[in-house]
Amino acid sequence: MKKYFFFDIDGTLTKPLTAEIPPSTVKALHGLAEQGHFIALATGRLQADAWQVAQGLGISSVVSDGGMGITIKSRLIRHGSLPLEPCRQMLEHIDSRKHPWAAVPDNKMIRISRDSHYQNTVEDRYYKTIVDPSFCTDHVPVLYKIFIACMPEEEKEIRLFGLPHVRFGRDTMLIEPTDKAAGIREIMRYFGADDKQIVVFGDGMNDLSMFIPGWTSIAMGNARSVLKEKASYITDTVGRDGIWKACLHFGWIRENPSQNGKKE
């Protein structure tokens, strides 16, 4: 039976510290494609960012933005925003001096803050931060992500108005969608595929929505404990060929005997 594979990126396809994709993972993805399976990414990353990773791997379908972005056959089908009114309410209530913030209003690896407090508080990693004193969330049609300078023990100080959030390093709370399963279901409807064909790989808290009954869910060896508890199967860590080993275990790919010095 043809399977539909959905892979998280960070900590699943890539090693947590180096962001390197192990050669065995690339080999597994190619093997799955050769067997006629469907391969997609399912990530919290911004669509532009996720699409760059997908292109590098020869993948043409992506669930991005925690389920709010859908790219199928290299075409961006949907790219939804966080709910704007709760975002505006939350930012209005934040003490922006104690908890500076920056927002992502475009499909670009750029976050905008109204002053230099965010840059001075949080290491400027991954996204480029631009200071724009005139920036106002009332004047933008979409908000994809909001970064808030906030340590874990300070989270209770932030009134979230029902908005989904994850940690982005120890010094940042990231407001972003976390329902990857919704995006997966949309892609499955597009192809007319069945739940029993779905296979998901993940490691983090924003992968929880994918680990549901009826889907084959694979937790990486480096996954959070709560994810492992819900998984259909627990494989090795990403750095120890976890994806390759899981695909071999289920017979989705075959080891090539010639690569082990054996004859066909």
DSSP structure class, residue 175: E
Three-state SS letters, 81-103: CCCHHHHHHHHHHCCCCCCCEEE
Domain boundaries, the chain: 4-80+179-260, 84-175
The Cα-based distances of 142 to 83, 149, 231 in angstroms read 8, 21, 34
Domain 4-80+179-260 fold is Rossmann fold (3.40.50)
Give the Cα separation of 163 and 190 in Å (integer): 28
Domain 84-175 fold is 3.30.1240
Q: For residue range 142-197, list pLDDT tens digits in order.
A: 999 999 999 999 999 999 999 999 998 889 999 999 999 999 999 999 999 999 99
Instruction: Band the pLDDT of 255: cuts 50, 70, 90.
Output: confident
Instruction: Band the pLDDT of 257: cuts 50, 70, 90.
Output: very low
Helix (H, G, I), strand (E, B) or coil at 81: coil
The whole-number pLDDT of residue 258 equals 37
The whole-number pLDDT of residue 261 equals 33
Res 263 pLDDT > 50: no
Three-state SS letters, 35-48: CCCEEEEECCCCHH
Q: Are 44 and 66 in contact (CB under 8 A)?
A: yes
Mean pLDDT, the chain, whole residue set: 93
Q: Which two tokens stand for residue 227?
A: 């994810």
Give the Cα separation of 219 and 215 in Å (integer): 12
The whole-number pLDDT of residue 64 equals 98
Contacts of 100 by beta carbon, 8 Å cutoff, 6+ apart: 113, 115, 117, 118, 120, 121, 122, 148, 149
State the average pLDDT over residues 107-136: 91
Is 84-175 in the same CATH topology as 4-80+179-260? no
Q: Within the chain, what is the greatest distance between any pair of CA atoms? A: 68
Torsion of CA 36, 217, 74, 20, to 10 degrees: -100
What is the chain's alpha carbon radius of gyration, rounded to the nearest angstrom?
A: 19
